[in-house]
């Protein structure tokens, strides 16, 4: 599993050197943000189903053609899979918050996603709409502290970007 520590150590290793001062500073910076990330992970986990549902509802409202016959939200199975996909992304965001790096998203969410959606003939814009809506909904201090929200939003931006 890739984390802030393994990323830095692997890079230094590959270059045949010990981690430099700036490598260590980046690890230290990440460790200092760990409390904020853990808070975000905990709050997200506690509310994940409701957050995913809101994102799903917003994206289907925006792209209501998806409900038409033959489209990707037209059957109960498809609806369930769509909501499940949004939950997958949120769960991966959660793992990234815990490990302090984008490894889980990169390896399990983003690698190959374009090919999968293309093969299944699924548009990515509704995913972007769902996650962007979710991005606008998080609110500090109501949902989590400002620092935690910054960490959470950065990962949402990262996924949104990968799908845009
Ligand atoms: C852990 C990371 C992970 C992701 C991200 C993931 C996505 C994912 N979504 C899939 C299907 C699917 N995903 C959707 C989703 C949608 N329907 C809509 O109207 C919208 C466009 C969209 C929701 C925003 C649908 C309808 C299918 C089934 C498509 C089909 O069978 O033709 C499939 C094919 C396998 C299956 O049917 O379960 C994968 C791999 N799987 C994973 O393991």
In a shared domain, residues 128 and 149: yes
Is 82 labelled a binding residue?
A: yes
In a shared domain, residues 14 and 87: no
Domains of the chain: total: 2
In a shared domain, residues 105 and 49: yes
pLDDT digits (tens, 9 = 90+) for 14-32: 999 999 999 999 889 888 9
In a shared domain, residues 124 and 57: yes
In a shared domain, residues 26 and 76: no
Low-confidence spans in the chain with pLDDT less than 50: none
**Which of 65, 81, 88 to mutate for ligand 1's pocket (most ligand atoms within 8 Å of CB)?**
81
Determine whether 127 is exposed, middle or buried from the number of CB atoms within 10 Å of its CB (0-12, 13-18, 19+): buried
Structural domain of residue 39, as residue ranges? 34-163
DSSP 15-51: TTS---HHHHHHHHHHHHTHHHHHHHHHHHHHHHHHH
In a shared domain, residues 129 and 147: yes
| pTM, entire model | 0.93
H-type helices in 100-145, by residue range? 103-104, 113-119, 125-137
52, two tokens: 């995913």
How far away, in angstroms, is 81 Cα from ligand 1 center? 5
Report whether residue 59 contacts ligand 1, using a CB cutoff of 6 Å.
yes
């Amino acid at each position: 599993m890739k984390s802030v520590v393994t990323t830095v150590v692997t890079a230094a290793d590959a270059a045949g050197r010990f981690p430099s001062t700036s490598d260590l500073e980046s690890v230290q910076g990440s460790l200092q943000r760990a409390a904020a990330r853990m808070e975000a992970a905990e709050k997200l986990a506690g509310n994940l189903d409701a957050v995913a549902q809101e994102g799903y509802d917003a994206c289907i409202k925006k792209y209501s053609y998806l409900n038409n016959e033959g489209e990707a939200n037209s059957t109960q199975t498809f609806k369930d899979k769509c909501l499940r996909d949004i939950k997958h992304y949120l769960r991966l965001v959660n793992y990234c918050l815990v490990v302090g790096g984008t490894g889980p998203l990169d390896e399990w969410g983003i690698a190959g996603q374009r090919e999968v959606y293309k093969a299944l003939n699924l548009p990515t814009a509704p995913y972007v709409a769902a996650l962007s809506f979710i991005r606008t909904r998080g609110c500090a201090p109501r949902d989590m502290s400002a620092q935690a929200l910054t960490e959470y939003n950065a990962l949402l931006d990262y996924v949104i970007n990968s799908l845009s």
